[in-house]
Structure 1
């Protein structure tokens, strides 16, 4: 017989999945939450370096627009211009530099 987890376990996993944690090099970095065109992002800033994390699901067709939305989120969160060519990653998480 299959064991059914207590109701608190799925709820805990859902809450855990909604959290954005920085990459180790961004531990201690300033954290900002930003919404751009209905999408939520968390930005971690350490001097002129940033990490941006997208929250929520994005289907294949939606993913094409995400990198540009991430750059807008970085600009809003930091007040600095993202150096677009420096950003690497995917539609879920990207890292790059900013110019202030």
Structure 2
């Protein structure tokens, strides 16, 4: 049982980390509907991560919230056809206005 404790503690300490392709990306944080989210943007690439637990039945609404947050926090329009992932983590591309 003790061999399980260390990996669990290390996992809990990780928090939201971007994928390696997003290292150095701009980071945004938000709380909506009792859930915390982190958005990473690097050029046209975007990644959003939900932090914490989601109960059964919340996932569809969480996914919609994540899509809205990408656009709200980055100021860019999500290219819906590029979106991949689930209510825990999603990645896609955005089109940003010039100068944005």
Using the size of structure 1 for normalisation, the TM-score is: 0.79
In structure 2, list runs of 5 or more residues that go unmatched: none
Aligned positions, number = 96
The RMSD of aligned alpha carbons is 2.5
Using the size of structure 2 for normalisation, the TM-score is: 0.79
Match of 1:31 in 2: 27
Contact 1:50 1:95 in 2 (8 A): yes
Higher percent of residues as strand: 2
Q: Structure 1 runs of 4+ off > 6 angstroms?
A: none
In structure 1, list runs of 5 or more residues that go unmatched: 4-8
For 1:83 and 1:40, how far apart are their aligned partners in 2?
Answer: 23
The partner residue of 2:76 within 55, 66, 80 is 80
The partner residue of 2:90 within 85, 88, 94 is 94
Q: Residue 86 of structure 1: SS of its match in structure 2?
A: strand
